[in-house]
Structure formats: structure tokens, C-alpha cells
Structure 1
């Protein structure tokens, strides 16, 4: 090349270069041992575990910037006379891998040089990638790195993709230098050397932040003016710093290996695929290619279904903290959340699990009238059953837990979430039996009190002390179901009396719980958080002075309410109550759902159905009460559990805000609690009179699928929490879409519509959402680029 001088820095921390040198001279110094003593000393200290001393030696080594002349500073703005060379690093290579990779790399015509690194366990590779524009330098680097990985069979360190990256001196008597290396041969249509930077001073022309103009798809691959495929909306806040897609087939094969494309999960998998593509920052042209490739690879659904689901996942993916950056600096403008779409597309439980559930649960599920209702009813059944299977325990994180957990169905008014009220009947027969026992014991107590009073009178007449053994002890009042609007004192009493069995609280209005917590006789929010983990709670009575202490309280809570009711109940993720809740949300079926019976021959009375199920629950209760159960999990099940929640924890840790890790952590415990309920039912059904029972793989798989969906819902709902602020929004016109519709002309183009809505102070994302609603409701019709009003809304 015409410019082949590279910059040497005497020390890696120097801010300015010291001299210029050709690559051949640098490699010759690596060969002849100019830095042999320092390198061998460094390797010896590292082998002895003296890392600090080794680091001091390493700092004394010179370094090279292959990119060109950086004598004025190691920054792109100071770089002149670029060479077109880039340095690639492969670290932590086993000796045999290093030898084989070194031998293969020497055979590649575009590898200019290669030598062992200062650590002795890696390779430093020099390649002429061409003098590419800084805008696309990293993309070019990644293309070449991928090619090197294919040759060497070892990954490159992508931390080295800076334009002015330093490479340390080393010692390798067998360092390789190609006599006449070639420039890396880029694929046609994906050549960064062909990139032409934007012109003009308007940053909207920059492909990194624009990329919205329809054009040739190949333009996107080459980094030229933007291309956005149909279905992906324009968004001025979108982040378009794209990453090249190296191998579509390999990417899809890896994705579908981790996400099974099976009946009941296919829609959710395609949504996840769209989000994954957006998170990886593949450009829209590659996104279109992936839609075609996924359809060819998996089939089963129409191509339109692939496009619809993947588009939605792509458009609603959260790109993290940089998504709202523009060339002029950070922006405080955030894309308006399309809450309706999010709730409509909230994932459902997989279809297959419903055929695998215990018969008792399957019989109750038929009362649901939609898929969303069915999920909520299933969780409410499991919640109530968690309080109806006594003396079932498992060991989790070195502590014994019972199945009791908290659940809330959160959805808009009239969405059908009230179906959870049916599950409250499951424990009704147990509760009635307890009340009958309470009344009988109370009568026996009152009879003994009469005898005690007679004994006191006799003792008084006979001038002796009464026989204290005749004084009866007042019986405890045992209950199973308790109301939400109860006082703290009564709650402590009920927990104390319930002992190892515990209690259940059901309500279809979360506000009833919130109101009780806010009263003077309530204030037991902290106790509820402690009860979840069976931590000791109690209080001293002001009247008789007798303290109540419940060492291992047990309580299941099943609630339903609107989104605002949830916010009123718990306003922040930092409030530990939120992470303790298993949550389901979603919109109900749009439009009217017939309330007629399914058929003349099939009349299902939900109350009667669950009253009958309560008989079976009573039998299971007595069976398990007489046969304590210890639920165990296999090593393979624990591996699955650890892998899943380790991955989930890693994902949420990338996001801002406190409390995300707590949500994942407590869903790990929820998994085992739900599995305990299923295992206890299997034990009762089979009549196993044994204490130690191992959870079946099938029940464990069911539980994992349930909790994965619950976790997704919980994380989504956490975004509505206002934190410490509880101010309501300002009141606005309810019929905003119709008001907008009335102001539109009889016919208009898309751009005219956007202009008109902008004049009404309506954001672009809101305007596009409204237009979709108008089309769906047949308020407007679209034909050949023109929208026309269909009928009046008067």
C-alpha cells in the first residue's frame, strides 16, 4: 500500500506516538527477541500467580497502532496517512488450538502477519481490511473477525475493534509475515469500502440516524442510503447503528434450537425472534431476509403470520439505554408505549400444558370462556390449592417452604378477570368443616366452663382452693378463608390459630386489600411481605397484654383488579411486595362474547362446578393432613432451574432500575411452590402414603412454562409503576380518535394525515396507531395510496 507506516508508542499509557515503523520491521523485532527478556519475565510472573508484578512489566512494553500515523494522539481525529491495516486478537487458546490456528492462518492470502501474544496463550493477527470510512469501520472489522474465526476455529476479542487500537510488543521467533498480502475480499453487496458518507450539514441525512428512505435493499448492506422494509414504522428516535448478519441460517438454527417451534408456542416464539433480531441490531434488510428464511426453515404457519408476529416483536423491542440517542446528544423524548398492543400480545400459557394438568384442575378450567380467562383461572386455582394441601414442604435455599404464594390478575375493567372468584370456592368445604368443629368445640368449652364455675362455688363453700385442672382452655377459632378487609390484630390471630395449615385470602378487588392496609387498624404491609417467606410475625395486644408470635406463618393470596388498583396497592418495584406477586395481565376478547350456554345439552354453572370440586379438595386435604409430604427435585431439574433463572437474571440486570433481580429471584421460588401443588395432587390421586415424593419431569416442565410466562407479565407490568410519585394524569378528551377523525378531510394521503395530526399536537406514533384503528373499524378505507372516509360517526 502507498501508506504503510504505523505508529509506535514507547509505553501503552503515552498520549502521543514516538516513531513510525513499517509492519515488516515490527514483526522482525518480534522475531529477533528485542523484547525477549521483558516478555519471558512477564510470562514467568503470570505462571507464578504474581499478577501485579506482571502488570508492571507489561506496562514497560512498547505498543503499535497499525491504523497509521498517530504521532499527535491515539484518536481517530488525530489519525493521518491510514494504512488500511487492523489488528485482531485471539486470547486464552489451548496450546494445540493455538498451533493449529497459527498454521491455518499462515495459509490465508489476506493475513499479513501473525505472532504469539505477550501472554503466550493467544495470537495477534494483522489484516489489511482497506481504508474504510470510520462510519463503517466497526462493521468491516466484524466481517473480517468472523472470517478469521472460521479459519482459526477460535473467537476473536471484539474489544479490539477500535480504529486506533494498540497492540503490545511480544516475542515469537516463528512470527509470520506475508510477502505480498492481499486486501480482505469482501462479499459483493456487503463491501464497506463502497460506503459513501452522508453529505450536507443536516444530521437527518446521516444513514446512522435516518435509514428511512425506500430504496434498493443492497444499499443497506453496503452502508448507503437507508432502506426500511414494509411493516417497520418510521421512528425519529430509532437507533440505526446496525450490526452485519453473517450467517442467517446459522443464526436461525441456533435460535430455534433454544426456542422450540411447537404448537401452542409458535406465535410467542416468532414474537421473541423479532425482539431478538432488534436487540442484536441487525439492519431492516437482514430482518426481511430472516423472515423469508424462517418461513422456509420452519413452515407450519402462513408467511403472513411470520411477518405479523416478527414485525410486532421487532417494533416493540426495548433497545436499552442508547435507543433515544441522536447526533446532537441524548434526547429525553421516549417513544409512546402502545399499551393496547402490549396487553393484547401478552403471552399466553402454552396450549399443551392444559392436557397434562391433574384431572381436578382440568375439570375446573372448563369454566373459562377465553384463552386469557383460562390462564387467569388456572393461576387462581393453583393459588387456592396452595393453601388446601397441608403439610407439604420442600427445601429451597436451605429453608423449608410450603406451597402458599400470592397471585394477582391485573387487567382493564370488564376484561373477564373476575373469573378468578370461582376458585375461592375450592376451599369452601374445608372452611365449613372448620366452622362446624369450631362450634362443637365452643359448646364443649361452654359446658366445661359451667362445670368450672360450679367447682369454684363448691370450693368456696368448703373453704378450699378449686381444682384448677377442671378449668378449660378456650379453643382456637380455626378458619381457612379470610376476607381482605381485616384488621392486623385479627390477621395475626387467624394466622396463629391456623398453625401449620395456613390461611387463604381471596378478593376480586385489589382496592379492598389496599384500603385495609391504609386504615389505623391495618398497617400490615410489612407483615405480608414477611409472611411470604414464612418469617416470624406477631404483636402485643393492648387489652390483655398477651403477645402473639407466629414463627412460621403461611398464607395464600388470590386477587384481581385493574392496572390502577395494582399501582395503588404497590407503586414501586423497590417495594418488595411487587416481586412477591405472581402476575398475569392482558386484554379481554374484543367485542361482545355470547353469554349463552355452549349447547342445549351442556349447561355449566361455574359455582356448582367448583362446589363439586370442593368435595375432592376436602378429600385431598384430609389425605395430605394424615400423610405429611416432602417434595424433592432431581439434579437435572435443578440444572434446568439454575440455567433458566441464571439467564433471566443476566437479562434483567442489563436494565435500569431497582427490583428487577428480586422479581426474577422470587419467581425461582414460585417455580418450586407451583411444582409442590402439582406433586401433592399427584400423590393424592395415586394414594401414595409416603412422605418423600419426587416431582415428575412432566410436572416440572409444566411449572417452568407457567413461570416463564408469569415472569414476562411481571416485568411488563413493572413498567407502569410510578415509583414514589402518585399524581394522576391530567383529564383529557375521551374520544380523541373521533375528534381527530372529524377534523380530517374526506380524502388524504399518508403524509397529509401525518401533517394534519402534527398540527393537532399528536405524536407520530400515536397518529399511526389511530390510523390503524380507523382502518380496523372501517372509518376509513385505503386504495392506491389514498385514504377515504367511509361513513359518519355522528
Structure 2
């Protein structure tokens, strides 16, 4: 079992662990493992320590030296410890006893992380094999201090509402619409309902009476129902009335809107536009939109390093790096690899966003990089087309002679009707119809086409035309998925394995026209680089006026041509190493979980697709190295230094994607950016144990509404980051403590 965990096979390890015997230290169970099956309480608290600062063995030895720890052993996985502590309290005080023991252990064993999922007395633990386990005949019993019942808070008791209003019944009806009362869930349902009714201020006797009338059924007795209600009201006496219920009849009715003039300047209702409650408007700077770090540039292939010498500052260097890689990804014939059980090639999509004059114009000359390669493919194809035309003319002439001779065959061999050959052209304009683009992608065969536009509006304008509308094509081509189109005018067209790279530049407003929503399929397929700020004036220099400056990329284009020709003759298969793959999985698993937990589900698909983008950059770098070395080797593992570069570019662009996505949420006339990690930051900065009011206050400072914070808590609890202790208190689990304040890559 432990070998499976050490090998990283967590699922297999979990399967083996579940076959072990189970021990419930809290007492004797009869008829099941639920709390109601606990017939004898042992006054023993079991503490599960998952996060250990040193080693499980070290923590166990230190715990053995504590006089109040009765027993302990290393957990079945070998990564944590199980400690057993006796208390002097009864079952009804198990939760405060558990908290007291945890506080005591966390104080005496600095750095440990207690898993608060063990707060229930019926919590079981798997029996472990541990020769170093200990048990003490005598140990101290931890006293649990029970203070006087707190003074009741001010609330609106349900008894103050006339019974004819049916307030309790209405409340319970509403609760039943949102929660399921079914076999296997009955105990939890009544427990949650009792907690809600207690907080709403309804009297225990009234609640008990109504619950008995509704929920008693075979297998779920009156004693059980009444016991659950009494237990909740006793344990959470201090929270009675903390969230008073106000029936709808007692609320101020909504006024009808008579005219637009009667709209309030700023509604106080929680029903305001959700986008207004997602944080403060910001002007993204290089903290949120960092450039690529220069330390990675030295390990790049010589071709890329020479391209970057054209840059005049860090901004241009970063823009040129992503842009040149996107362009060069179209010069990788026969370079392939397998990703998630599917064959992929290197071409990918890049987009550079910046205000006017921000420096994105430096990419305008990059088309020269691949011009020689595209001309090479075009000229070779032109020769094949001419050969086809010649054979076609010979065939047609033969057919005419045959017709004139009355069917008598002319002397010599009869020419065959040649297969049509169409002209390849790897350069695709943004102003291209859907039908023409499909036809050209199919014609270009195994060569990748390149759509390069420094004016993004060339693409956006065409996308909204009936003849254009190739958004579907861009989505399909990103994954080499077949693209079809059938019209009366053009007939049926099919690109069976499209290869397309794309590089676009434009302003934020133009980008929002191209991608109106972060949930757009195209958005998740783009590598985004957003230039921070509005740019600076760049003075003219004498170097700008030299022929060398104007033709800088011409000589580099010949090197690109040589690489392309070599790769075309010698197929290449690229893949990750195991170490690289594991690092990618660790990083993106955390990113994926974070965006889903903290309210950014719209970018979840983008997070997953950035793994493929990193793989493709690794393919491009590997292909360049193979071409420069004139190697004929087919199988290539991405070099570690190339992986570091690809990983850095991918994670930086993902950071830019997060920021840009905040400007795409909702339909707003003004372009605004938000802090993309507000919810995660607030959660990470909360202490180990916190109140709902505390996290709401923290959210209020950053203009997060109460409903947004409550959704955050619901999501965090659903995903196992926190557990509810009742009365508005929450405690972070081991998984929740792993959430940190976002760090810019």
C-alpha cells in the first residue's frame, strides 16, 4: 500500500487502504457507522495529522513525550499520524472537546496540521501496521471546560409571528425545495434543517412538533427525529436567532418601475449586477502582467536568441518571443507528438493585446521569418501544378484526336487523366471566406498554414460576415479536427487534418470584439500576452536608418528555410519525460481546482488547454534544435531547459489570460479589468478557524458582495477545503490549508 503512494499511484493506494480493518475510537457502534449507531461513548478523541513539517516518525516520537497522548501510530499511508487522547466530557460536548485537544496539540507540536474531518465521534480510522506504535497504561485526561450558557442574542423569535402566517411551514417548504429528504440522507437533512431553523429563531418545541409530523417514517423513528432536533438546539444554543427569519409578507414590497427616471442611482439590493461585486476595478501593471524573465533567454536555441536581439526593451523581447514561436510553429513539417492519447503537431495560436503605441507593432516584420519557407513550398507546388496542367492538356488533346478519328486510336500510348493538383499557399489572410479557407487547408496537406494579422479587425470583421464566419474552423483546426462545409455554390468541402498557426495583435477593444466572452471556445485556445500600461515614446536613433535594420529578418529567414527543409525530410516524434509530465500535472491540477473553487469556471477549459500549449512550444524548440544540428534522429525527449522555457512561457501567458478574462465578463460598455484572484486571496488569508462574518468583512473591503462570499464558502465546503463547525464557524481542512495567496509566476 505504501509503495503505491510512494510511486505516486494515489488511486491504487486508496483502493488498497479501503480493504483494511476500520477502528472507531469514539465508542461502540451497533447497527451501522452513523452517529445514531453510537451506543457507548469512550471519551476518546482521535486526531488525524496529515501535514507534518518533518516526518511521521519524528512527530510520533514527539507526541509520545506528551503526557496527555494515550496512544499513537503512523497512518496506513505512512505520511501522517493518528493520535488518541482521553477527555473528561460526555458525548454532547464531543465537538468542543475535539477543538480543545486540537488546539493543545497544535500548540505542543508546532507546524503540524490537524485534519478537522475527525471532529465526529463516529469517525473511523484504518488499522495500520506500525512496529513503532505506542500505548500508555496511564496518561493525563484533558479537561474540557464548559462555560455558562451565553446570553441569548437579540433575534426575532418565531413565536412573535402569528401562527396563522404559517412562517415555520413556509420556511420548511422552501428548505425542502432546495434539499432532498431521502433514504440515506434523512439524518443529515433533519440535522441541517434544525440548524437553519435554530439560527432563524424558531422555538425548539415548535420545530420538533413540525418535524415529527413531516419526517417520521418506517426506519426513521420519532425518537431519532426528536433526538436530532434536541441535539442541534443544545449544541448551538448560542447561535439561536443569529439569522432571524423575516417572512415575505413582512418585507417591503418592490415598487413598480414607472419610467426609466425612477431607477435608483445605486441599488442597495443584493440583486445588483454580479459583475459589480467581483472586486475593485484595476489598471493591470507588470505585477499582474509580468513579462517573460530574461534568465530563460540564454538557454533558447540560437535562432530564437538572434530574433530577440531585434528587441529594444523587455516588452518587445517578450512580445517577439511568443510571436516568433507562434510563427515558427508553422515551419515544423512532420513534427508530431502524442498528448492525452491524441496525435498533435506543433502549430498553435498566439495573440498580443496592447493599447495603441504600446509596442506590439514590433511583430510587423516577423512575417519575413517564414517568407522564404512559404515561397519554397509555393514554388515547389507551382512546379507540380504546371506538370499537372501539362499532363491535363496532353490528355485533353488525345481525347480530341480520338473524337476526330471516329474512335480510331492515334499512334502511341494513350495518356492517363491526371489527378487534380491545386496550388499550395501557406499564407492565409484574415479576409478569407470560410469555403476558401477549408479548401486551402486541405490543399496545403501536411504543411501548416499561417494566419498572421497585425490588425485584429481583419479577422473580427470577416468573422461577422456570412461568407466568413470561420470561428468554428479556428476552434476545430486548433486540435486538427476535421472541418466540413457544404453549400450550393461551393459544393462539399472537407479539411480532414487541418494544420494552422495563428498570430494576431490588436487593442483590448478589438480583442473583446473577437472574443466577447471568456467561455468562448476560441478564448481557451489562445496563448494570450497582454502588454501592461499604455507604452512609452521611443525616440528615433541612427540604427533605425540602416539597411541592416530594415532587412534584419531576411538572413534569419534563410536559416528558417534550412530548418524547414531538413524537418520535411526527417520526421520527428516529440514527448515529455516522466519528470516533466509530473511537474505539469502538479501545477495544473492545483490551477484547475482553484479556478473551479474560487468562481472562475469560465477559464477552466483554458487552464487545461495551456498544458497542450506548453507541449507545442516544447515541440517547436525541439524541432529548431534538430534542424540546427541537422540531426536525422526521429525520437526526441524535450530537453529540460526547453521544458523550463515552455513551462515559463505557458504559466506567464496563463496569468495574462486570467487578467484578460476579467474584462470579458458580462456585457459592459466600458472595458474594465478586475483582480483575477480576489476570492482565492481572501480565502488564503483567513485563519485556520474563522467566522462567516470575518470573511464577509474581508470581502466587503475588496467590494465582494455577501452573496459572492457565500458562494465562495459553499464551493470551498463542497470541494473539501473547509468544514462547517456550526454557528457560522468554519475550519480549514488539510486541503484548504494548501491554498496560498496567488503568486505571480
* TM interval, short-chain normalised: 0.5 to 0.7
Out of 136, 146, 152, the residue aligned to residue 106 of structure 2 is: 146
2:632 maps to 1:689: yes
1:89 matched residue in structure 2: 47
Out of 402, 407, 416, the residue aligned to residue 359 of structure 2 is: 416
What does the per-residue CA deviation read over 1:378-420, in whole Å, with 9 as the maximum and x for residues that have no partner? 1110001100121100111111111000000012121011222
Higher mean alpha-carbon deviation, 663-672 vs 638-647, is at 638-647
Distance in 1 (CA, whole Å) between partners of 2:59 and 2:554 is 71
Count of aligned pairs between the two proteins = 512
* Structure 2 length-normalised TM: 0.60
2:643 maps to 1:700: yes
CA, structure 1 residues 166+521, in 2 after alignment: closer, same or farther (shift >3 Å)? Answer: same
What does the per-residue CA deviation read over 1:635-688, in whole Å, with 9 as the maximum and x for residues that have no partner? 222222222222322332222143332111111111111011111111111111
**Deviation at residue 720 of structure 1 after TM alignment:** 1.0
1:59 matched residue in structure 2: 36
**Deviation at residue 490 of structure 1 after TM alignment:** 0.7
2:462 matched residue in structure 1: 516
CA, structure 1 residues 687+446, in 2 after alignment: closer, same or farther (shift >3 Å)? Answer: closer
1:178 matched residue in structure 2: 140
1:569 matched residue in structure 2: 514
Instruction: After TM superposition, list the pairs within 5 Å mapping 1:441-590 onto structure 2.
Output: 441-464=384-407, 469-540=415-486, 542-543=488-489, 545=491, 547-587=492-532, 590=535
What does the per-residue CA deviation read over 1:269-293, in whole Å, with 9 as the maximum and x for residues that have no partner? xxxxxxxxxxxxxxxxxxxxxxxxx
Kindly indicate whether the alpha-carbon contact (under 8 Å) linking 2:353 and 2:530 is maintained by their aligned counterparts in 1: yes
CA, structure 1 residues 696+149, in 2 after alignment: closer, same or farther (shift >3 Å)? Answer: same
Instruction: After TM superposition, list the pairs within 5 Å mapping 1:8-87 onto structure 2.
Output: 55-56=32-33, 59-61=36-38
Higher mean alpha-carbon deviation, 639-648 vs 705-714, is at 639-648
Out of 329, 332, 341, the residue aligned to residue 386 of structure 1 is: 329
What does the per-residue CA deviation read over 1:33-79, in whole Å, with 9 as the maximum and x for residues that have no partner? xxxxxxxxx996779xxxx997446532158799xxxxxxxxxxxxx
Kindly indicate whether the alpha-carbon contact (under 8 Å) linking 1:62 and 1:169 is maintained by their aligned counterparts in 2: no
Instruction: After TM superposition, list the pairs within 5 Å mapping 1:336-351 onto structure 2.
Output: 337-342=280-285, 345-351=288-294
Distance in 2 (CA, whole Å) between partners of 1:445 and 1:613 is 33
Distance in 1 (CA, whole Å) between partners of 2:109 and 2:408 is 95
Distance in 2 (CA, whole Å) between partners of 1:407 and 1:634 is 25
CA, structure 1 residues 416+92, in 2 after alignment: closer, same or farther (shift >3 Å)? Answer: closer
**Deviation at residue 423 of structure 1 after TM alignment:** 1.9
Secondary structure, aligned partner of 1:659: helix
**Deviation at residue 92 of structure 1 after TM alignment:** 7.9
Instruction: After TM superposition, list the pairs within 5 Å mapping 1:635-646 onto structure 2.
Output: 635-646=578-589
**Deviation at residue 90 of structure 1 after TM alignment:** 2.5
Instruction: After TM superposition, list the pairs within 5 Å mapping 1:219-298 onto structure 2.
Output: none
**Deviation at residue 608 of structure 1 after TM alignment:** 0.9
Distance in 2 (CA, whole Å) between partners of 1:139 and 1:593 is 63
Distance in 2 (CA, whole Å) between partners of 1:62 and 1:472 is 89
What does the per-residue CA deviation read over 1:95-143, in whole Å, with 9 as the maximum and x for residues that have no partner? xx9999788557546x4x75679x9984343689xxxxxxx99999876
Instruction: After TM superposition, list the pairs within 5 Å mapping 1:107-118 onto structure 2.
Output: 107-108=65-66, 111=68, 114=70
2:602 matched residue in structure 1: 659
Kindly indicate whether the alpha-carbon contact (under 8 Å) linking 1:367 and 1:604 is maintained by their aligned counterparts in 2: no
What does the per-residue CA deviation read over 1:728-756, in whole Å, with 9 as the maximum and x for residues that have no partner? 2499xxxxxxxxxxxxxxxxxxxxxxxxx
Distance in 1 (CA, whole Å) between partners of 2:60 and 2:297 is 55
Kindly indicate whether the alpha-carbon contact (under 8 Å) linking 1:343 and 1:585 is maintained by their aligned counterparts in 2: no
CA, structure 1 residues 147+561, in 2 after alignment: closer, same or farther (shift >3 Å)? Answer: same
Kindly indicate whether the alpha-carbon contact (under 8 Å) linking 2:50 and 2:115 is maintained by their aligned counterparts in 1: no
Kindly indicate whether the alpha-carbon contact (under 8 Å) linking 1:427 and 1:481 is maintained by their aligned counterparts in 2: no
1:403 matched residue in structure 2: 346
1:366 matched residue in structure 2: 309
CA, structure 1 residues 442+571, in 2 after alignment: closer, same or farther (shift >3 Å)? Answer: same
Distance in 1 (CA, whole Å) between partners of 2:615 and 2:61 is 52
CA, structure 1 residues 680+104, in 2 after alignment: closer, same or farther (shift >3 Å)? Answer: closer
Distance in 1 (CA, whole Å) between partners of 2:142 and 2:520 is 66
Kindly indicate whether the alpha-carbon contact (under 8 Å) linking 1:98 and 1:123 is maintained by their aligned counterparts in 2: no
CA, structure 1 residues 652+624, in 2 after alignment: closer, same or farther (shift >3 Å)? Answer: same
Secondary structure, aligned partner of 1:156: strand
Kindly indicate whether the alpha-carbon contact (under 8 Å) linking 1:63 and 1:167 is maintained by their aligned counterparts in 2: no
What does the per-residue CA deviation read over 1:555-600, in whole Å, with 9 as the maximum and x for residues that have no partner? 0000111112121111222222111000011225754222214599
| RMSD of equivalent CA atoms | 4.6
1:619 matched residue in structure 2: 562
Out of 674, 678, 689, the residue aligned to residue 621 of structure 2 is: 678
**Deviation at residue 531 of structure 1 after TM alignment:** 0.8
Runs of 5+ unmatched residues, structure 2: 1-18, 89-95, 126-133, 148-153, 156-267, 673-699, 704-745
2:116 matched residue in structure 1: 158
1:377 matched residue in structure 2: 320
Distance in 2 (CA, whole Å) between partners of 1:412 and 1:642 is 35
Higher relative contact order (CA 8 A, sep 6+): 2
Out of 717, 724, 728, the residue aligned to residue 669 of structure 2 is: 728
Distance in 2 (CA, whole Å) between partners of 1:138 and 1:638 is 41
1:437 matched residue in structure 2: 380
Kindly indicate whether the alpha-carbon contact (under 8 Å) linking 1:418 and 1:508 is maintained by their aligned counterparts in 2: yes
Distance in 2 (CA, whole Å) between partners of 1:397 and 1:548 is 29
1:80 matched residue in structure 2: none
CA, structure 1 residues 558+607, in 2 after alignment: closer, same or farther (shift >3 Å)? Answer: farther
